[in-house]
Structure 1
Amino acid sequence: MSGGPLDGVRVVDLTHALAGPYATMLLADLGADVLKVESPAGDLARRAGPYPDGDELRAFGGYFQSVNRGKRSVVLDLKTPEGAAALRSLAGDADVLVENFSHGVMERLGLSYESLCADNPRLVYAAVRGFGDARSGRSPYLEWPAFDVVVQAMAGLMGITGTEDGDPIKVGPGIGDIYPGTMLALGVTSALYEARGTGRGQFVDVAMYDAILALCERIIYQHTYTGAVPRAEGNRHPLLSPFDVLPALDGWVAIAAPADSRWRTLCDLIDRPDLAADPGLATNLLRVARRAEVFDALAAWTSGRTKEEVLAMLGGRVPVGAVRDAAEIAADPHVAARGMVVQLDHPGVDGTLGVAGQPLKFSRTPAVPDRRAPLLDEHGAEVRGELAERRSAFGPDRVAS
């Protein structure tokens, strides 16, 4: 893809699994030329599935496709002098390098930030790890490996997710990876913007723990302002009412009307003038104190109606939405209107398959994913040709084969 707001930006992508590839997928969607550097074995996510029916090639599954679309692939063995030298050459001509190895790996390979930026002072070097990099603050967990569920647990998300009397529950999507990856993409674009004026890159560091703690920002001020230790409260909100997930005849609906004017509108729509007239429910703060009563009143109304009936009566007047599954989302006209499922080729099967689209919309420089994920080393010959051209131009001591 070309023409996006990052058209012309060259990214060397050393990431694997989810957090790092999600960050570089965002950059690729935005138009950057992202070169995914893989070991001879390839990113383990290639073998994670799911695979579509009839795909006997199994070059990659939906997981890999979703977060590696739009990238090129080259195989380099960074443990060999030749592979490390080739990577150094690629970084020397790049705007950005992104990696999510364990702390210290790049240093052991002789490819540290300091070494690479000495060759290319404008390089933005970005890293996402479980507990960050010592350059930004040495965590006592620096050497600990981390996964999504680990940082959801440690950074507070699971502590406020679940029912009041139940066990902690992780959030469904891999938010412990995806949100840090999103933050890293923001950090990279910010550093690129700054480098346009100074000509100097910098080290950009996101810890998965830090990102999820930032996502849980409410628990911090609740604790520092009041001394409270927030706990799981099901689908309710400790500071807003109504802000609930309520039963319907065929599922569940979410209703959020904490603003006092919205509350009065809601009471009118469900034909409960008594609720609107109750001075003890007149403000959000008062409703929070009686939120169980508010929930029961609304549930009595929603439970006798289907999801679509609730939406038909409340939609556009108060914030309301049905709890939907993937099939219902795929059929939602909003998703089609906003291009939020994009169709990509998949090696090994005829036709295209859908992945989640790009929520960033630009009026002049569209960021629309339109190229599938690469086969392993699919662009290797192309990249090695580029390296050979540079060797001819700058001499063999500058570029490895």
Structure 2
Amino acid sequence: MGALSHIRVLDLSRVLAGPWCAQNLADLGAQVIKVERPGAGDDTRHWGPPFAKDPNGQDTTESAYYISINRNKKSITLDISTPEGQAIVRDLVKTSDVVIENYKVGQLAKYGLDYLSLCAIKPNLIYCSITGFGQSGPYQQRPGYDFILQGMGGFMSITGEADHLPGGGPQKAGVAIVDLFTGMYASSAILAAVIHRDRSGEGQYIDMALLDTQVAMLANISSNYLCSGVSPHRWGNAHPNVVPYQTFQTSDSWIIVAVGNDSQFRNFVKAGNREALADDPRFATNPARIEHRASLIPLLVEMVKEKTKAQWITLLEAAGVPCGPINNLQEVFENEQVIARGIEMHVPHPTAGTMKLVASPMRLSKTPVEVRMPPPLLGQHTDEVLRNELGMSASQINELHQRGIV
């Protein structure tokens, strides 16, 4: 049994931040019921190709995007714009511990599905709202998109090559980091609220905003600004406080070298037959290397080009210099450590036959994470939930189907 097997979550969210949060809870054992629009479902169901393939190699209707964030959930379809649909949500809330939603501020109030309405039904309910800018402030009604928040929240001002270099300019991350971080923060906030409820009996409202998360997750960069009053700029793959700490092109590929102290720097240049650089007063200490970065880096660039990626990694690992390759995804999933950790999982699926998933990184010794269910088909569990959780008869369920409510 998972650590959260006693918790039931009603997931009214869609796209990424909310579903990512709900999947984290589901992986830890929570029972998650995902509510989707009849006939269409979560927007991400249609965000493909790629789609999962069936045993004959043909595309299914299950997009890779949707698959990545919705395992261990049951899917029901429900039109919450109808009084009947709203009544079903309220009935499900009575036996739920947590509600997660990412509608625009105030949108669910007109359906009677906002926090104040639902906590009147379930006083100890934990209700988590995820929006772009939060429930207060002048931007509260603005829609929030990850890309925009990466720019607005400062991330893109420090990401990308420096303006004066080829290809310089702001750059977004290769994955929707604001959505994902918000989902992770929301997971932690919900768990804290569950612990508080178990101790006090009180439920509560959780207001999560993408903008808040983006500013917070800049961590030391935000702190650097608050302490100095100076806005940091883009360093590309270099580090503002440590040199050399960046990517280098070898004779056949790229590597990362992360020199953390002066002895590691000596070992690095010794491996490249340039030990004299470590005796040069301009480069002997990290503060000196920062001051003379422009002189040092071109020398290191030429040095690294003299050997292959494999040669450098062998030499540097033997010398105790932190380093690593820059892998594509094929190389990632073929990596012996990734294989040993079981990060690629194969689970049975009703249309794909066998579906490949990325395992949760959470490793608990007493309550291990399990994939109990693959990402659900649209509305796969509607009848089951209505029958088993709400006690509806076959004729009642059939009428709801005929009227398009489910």
Please give the TM-score of this superposition, normalised by the length of structure 1: 0.90
Q: Report which stretch shifted further, 141-150 or 256-265.
A: 256-265
Distance in 1 of aligned mates of 2:183 and 2:52: 27
Give the letter for the 1:214 counterpart.
Answer: A
Distance in 2 of aligned mates of 1:277 and 1:349: 61
Match among 13, 16, 22 for residue 15 of structure 1? 13
Give the letter for the 2:122 counterpart.
Answer: N
How far off its partner does 1:220 sit? 2.4
1:273 aligns with 2:245: no
Match among 205, 223, 226 for residue 207 of structure 2? 205
1:149 aligns with 2:140: no
Distance in 2 of aligned mates of 1:364 and 1:193: 19
How far off its partner does 1:243 sit? 1.0
Match among 53, 62, 65 for residue 64 of structure 2? 62
Q: 1:47 corresponds to which residue?
A: 46
Counterparts of 1:153-302 in structure 2 under 5 Å? 153-165=151-163, 166-302=168-304
Distance in 2 of aligned mates of 1:52 and 1:7: 29
Counterparts of 1:95-110 in structure 2 under 5 Å? 95-110=97-112
Match among 332, 335, 343 for residue 332 of structure 1? 335
How far off its partner does 1:375 sit? 0.9
Counterparts of 1:68-79 in structure 2 under 5 Å? 68-79=70-81
Distance in 1 of aligned mates of 2:311 and 2:57: 41
Give the letter for the 2:42 counterpart.
Answer: D
Give the letter for the 2:29 counterpart.
Answer: G
Q: Report which stretch shifted further, 95-104 or 265-274.
A: 265-274
Q: 2:396 corresponds to which residue?
A: none
How far off its partner does 1:12 sit? 0.5
How far off its partner does 1:42 sit? 1.0
Cα shift readout 1:77-105 (whole Å, capped 9, x = no counterpart): 11111111111111121111111111111
Q: Report which stretch shifted further, 352-361 or 47-56.
A: 47-56
Give the letter for the 1:382 counterpart.
Answer: E
Cα shift readout 1:215-243 (whole Å, capped 9, x = no counterpart): 22333222222221212121111112221
Cα RMSD, aligned residues only: 2.2
CA contact (8 A) 2:73 2:376 kept: yes
Give the letter for the 1:244 counterpart.
Answer: Q
1:27 aligns with 2:30: no
CA contact (8 A) 1:129 1:208 kept: yes
Distance in 2 of aligned mates of 1:154 and 1:305: 41
Give the letter for the 2:41 counterpart.
Answer: G
Query: In structure 2, do the counterparts of structure 1 residues 131 and 235 end up closer, same or farther at CA, with 3 Å as the change threshold?
Result: same
Structure 1 residue ranges without an equivalent (≥5)? 392-399
Distance in 1 of aligned mates of 2:228 and 2:140: 31
CA contact (8 A) 2:16 2:179 kept: yes
Distance in 1 of aligned mates of 2:281 and 2:300: 18
Cα shift readout 1:286-336 (whole Å, capped 9, x = no counterpart): 222222333233322321222222211112612211111011001001111
Cα shift readout 1:110-142 (whole Å, capped 9, x = no counterpart): 111112122212211112111112xxxx22211
Match among 85, 88, 98 for residue 87 of structure 2? 85
CA contact (8 A) 1:342 1:369 kept: no
Q: Report which stretch shifted further, 310-319 or 67-76.
A: 310-319
Distance in 1 of aligned mates of 2:131 and 2:251: 45
Residue aligned with 1:354, SS:
strand
Residue aligned with 2:96, SS:
coil
How far off its partner does 1:347 sit? 4.1
How far off its partner does 1:281 sit? 2.7
Q: 1:323 corresponds to which residue?
A: 326
CA contact (8 A) 2:129 2:207 kept: yes
Distance in 1 of aligned mates of 2:20 and 2:87: 26
CA contact (8 A) 2:112 2:118 kept: no
Cα shift readout 1:249-286 (whole Å, capped 9, x = no counterpart): 22211111123343333344434332332343333222
CA contact (8 A) 2:51 2:61 kept: no
Distance in 2 of aligned mates of 1:19 and 1:233: 28
CA contact (8 A) 2:91 2:390 kept: no
Percent sequence identity over aligned pairs: 35
Query: In structure 2, do the counterparts of structure 1 residues 131 and 55 end up closer, same or farther at CA, with 3 Å as the change threshold?
Result: farther
Distance in 2 of aligned mates of 1:59 and 1:201: 38
CA contact (8 A) 1:75 1:380 kept: yes
Cα shift readout 1:142-178 (whole Å, capped 9, x = no counterpart): 1111211111110011111111122211110111211
Residue aligned with 1:59, SS:
strand
Q: Report which stretch shifted further, 313-322 or 82-91.
A: 313-322
Residue aligned with 1:68, SS:
coil
Give the letter for the 1:163 counterpart.
Answer: E
Q: 2:352 corresponds to which residue?
A: 349
Q: For this pair of structures, how many residues does the alignment match?
A: 386
How far off its partner does 1:345 sit? 3.2
CA contact (8 A) 1:57 1:348 kept: no
Distance in 2 of aligned mates of 1:268 and 1:204: 54
How far off its partner does 1:387 sit? 3.7
Query: In structure 2, do the counterparts of structure 1 residues 347 and 306 end up closer, same or farther at CA, with 3 Å as the change threshold?
Result: farther
Structure 2 residue ranges without an equivalent (≥5)? 394-404
Residue aligned with 2:227, SS:
helix
